């Protein structure tokens, strides 16, 4: 498979990519790395204090979501395109692709408090795209969220 197909599979499997989803403010909690990439019981490592503080005392300020994009046009958003709720910008697109089964899909980072049943508008240079979200990181993520662990290389169920 080509890189475009591999990227579409990565997005469909909800796997953040360092080059796309990470910015200078990113926390592992926001990008769903607590399931696969962060060990909360291990000893010291760079950034461990921040990870422990957010896990035990608070919630991450943003969360990653999967978006099912309206596929009626041939427009795909680009990295950095705004995600709107009504007229307010609540996040940005980090990755987008056409999946062979799911059609146009994307990953976006949005504000933590954004409702889990909200439908978004993605503003692109070529127009607006309607998007429905799938929750990856719940708004209440933190120590009390009790997030189930996923198999390391498995695909989500459902």
Q: In whole angstroms, give the CA distance from residue 25 to residue 5.
A: 29
Mean pLDDT estimate for the chain: 83
The domain total for the chain is: 1
Q: What pLDDT is recorded for position 151?
A: 56
**Two tokens, residue 60:** 């991450």
H-type helices in the chain, by residue range?
A: 3-12, 18-21, 48-57
Q: Identify whether 40 is part of a domain.
A: yes
Per residue in 46-83, pLDDT (tens digit) is: 777 777 766 766 778 889 999 999 987 788 999 999 99
Q: In whole angstroms, give the CA distance from residue 122 to residue 127.
A: 8
Q: Identify whether 158 is part of a domain.
A: no
Print the domain residue range for 69.
Answer: 3-135
Euclidean distance between the first and the last CA atom of the chain, given in angstroms as a whole number: 25
119: CATH: 3.30.1360.120
Q: What is the DSSP letter of 3?
A: H
Question: What global pTM score does this model have?
Answer: 0.78
């Amino acid at each position: 498979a080509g890189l475009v197909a591999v990227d579409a599979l990565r997005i469909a499997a909800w796997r953040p990519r360092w080059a796309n989803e990470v910015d200078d403010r990113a926390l592992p909690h926001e990008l769903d790395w607590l399931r696969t990439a962060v060990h909360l019981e291990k000893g010291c490592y760079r950034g461990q204090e921040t990870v422990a503080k957010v896990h035990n005392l608070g919630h991450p300020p943003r969360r990653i979501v999967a978006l099912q994009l309206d596929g009626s046009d041939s427009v795909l958003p680009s990295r950095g395109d705004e995600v709107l709720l009504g007229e307010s910008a609540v996040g940005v697109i980090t990755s987008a692709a056409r999946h062979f089964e799911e059609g146009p899909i994307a990953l976006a980072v949005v504000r933590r408090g954004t409702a889990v049943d909200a439908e978004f508008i993605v503003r692109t240079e070529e127009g607006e795209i309607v998007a429905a979200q799938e929750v990856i990181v719940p708004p209440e993520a933190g120590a009390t969220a009790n997030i189930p662990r996923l198999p390391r290389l498995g695909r989500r169920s459902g």
